[in-house]
Amino acid sequence: DGGITQSPKYLFRKEGQNVTLSCEQNLNHDAMYWYRQDPGQGLRLIYYSQIVNDFQKGDIAEGYSVSREKKESFPLTVTSAQKNPTAFYLCASSTLQGIEAFFGQGTRLTVV
């Protein structure tokens, strides 16, 4: 079945640590996105990529980094520079025409 997979589902991080969230899709989509969602809030764009080896900052990129070495994969690293990383992280993909964005099941990151 085609889809988009995020892992892990839950992640606990100590302060000062970097963590990497995985996102893989087999939908052959060119565009991939990372969003952050805080309780009672909408989705805010962190980074996006429309082609391999290229990505762009979204609205809240500070403290995050990404890579796009393969079309299928778009991992997100939450660095120690991110001051408030506890949130629900959602990865999505779409065609470049943006007909529909498909989401992974999300990763809940908690800093302990």
Partner 1 sequence: RKEVEQDPGPFNVPEGATVAFNCTYSNSASQSFFWYRQDCRKEPKLLMSVYSSGNEDGRFTAQLNRASQYISLLIRDSKLSDSATYLCVVNGRGGSYIPTFGRGTSLIVHP
- Using a 10 angstrom Cβ sphere, with 0-12 exposed, 13-18 middle and 19 or more buried, the burial of residue 43 is middle
Q: How far is the CB of 80 from partner 1 (least distance, A)?
A: 26
β 102-103/107-111 pair status: unpaired
How many of the chain's residues bind partner 1 (CB under 8 A)?
Answer: 26
Site membership for partner 1, residue 79 (CB under 8 A): no
Which residues within the stretch 16-75 sit at the binding site for partner 1 (CB under 8 A)?
A: 31, 33, 35, 40-45, 48, 50, 58
Contacts to partner 1 by CB under 8 A: 31, 33, 35, 40-45, 48, 50, 58, 88, 90, 92, 94, 96-101, 103-106
